[in-house]
Structure 1
Amino acid sequence: MQQGLSKRQFDGSLKFDCGPDGVIVLADNAVSRDDQETDCTIKITESNLAKLITGKLNPMTGVMMGKLKVSGDAKVAMKLGELLKA
């Protein structure tokens, strides 16, 4: 993710909430494991997050199958797709 951020700007803030495995936050064009308030939160397991990042889990399919849940500003979550393509 940090590589993707170095190539493009990510507007907004997004948190991957992996439950007991912790959080990953994209904010201020940086990646952090420090929990904080964000514009959008995606609840997802760490293993499904790895699949999402590597392209093995389609975001829309993940939502429909209940493998990830989006709360907050969904437009921010949609920007993630562009970042993952970088």
Structure 2
Amino acid sequence: MSDIVTAAVEKLNEKIDGGFSAGTAKFVIEGEGAIVIDENGARASDDDADVTLTADVETFQGMLDGSVNPTAAFMGGSLSVDGDMSMAMQLGAALV
């Protein structure tokens, strides 16, 4: 597992303290790995999910630190979403 994924799992667990009850979401960080978020919190995993969000390292880190708005990243093409769009929006709101 990459250092970026390890750090992202820690940061996501801080942001979604108590887990993400809306379903199962996966972040794919290009060239680094994947993170699954569910009612148990975030963990490094490439399991199937209801929605998959894919971004490069810079975009993903920006979403975590608040310098990149997830909606703007999606509209600008630096974040792709595959699956349940409403769940992706809920996750985006939970990360702010």
With the shorter chain as reference, the TM-score category is 0.7 to 0.9
RMSD: 1.6
**Normalising to structure 2: TM-score of the pair?**
0.78
Question: What is the DSSP-based 3-state SS (H/G/I as helix, E as strand, rest coil) of the residue aligned with 2:16?
Answer: helix
Q: 1:25 to 1:47 in 2, by over 3 A?
A: same
Q: How far apart, CA to CA, are the structure 2 residues paired with 1:56 and 1:73?
A: 24
Q: What do the CA deviations read for 1:22-71 (whole angstroms, capped 9, x no partner)?
A: 01110233111111000000010122101011111112211121100011
Question: What is the DSSP-based 3-state SS (H/G/I as helix, E as strand, rest coil) of the residue aligned with 2:46?
Answer: coil
Q: How far apart, CA to CA, are the structure 1 residues paired with 2:20 and 2:80?
A: 24
Query: What is the aligned partner in structure 1 of residue 6 from structure 2?
Result: none
1:76 aligned onto 2:87: yes
1:53 aligned onto 2:45: no
**Normalising to structure 1: TM-score of the pair?**
0.85
Q: How far apart, CA to CA, are the structure 2 residues paired with 1:33 and 1:9?
A: 15
Letter in 1 for 2:77: G
Query: What is the aligned partner in structure 2 of residue 39 from structure 1?
Result: 50
Check the 8 A contact 2:36/2:45 in 1, yes or no: yes
Bigger relative contact order, structure 1 or 2 (CA pairs below 8 A, ≥6 apart): 1
Q: How far apart, CA to CA, are the structure 1 residues paired with 2:27 and 2:20?
A: 18
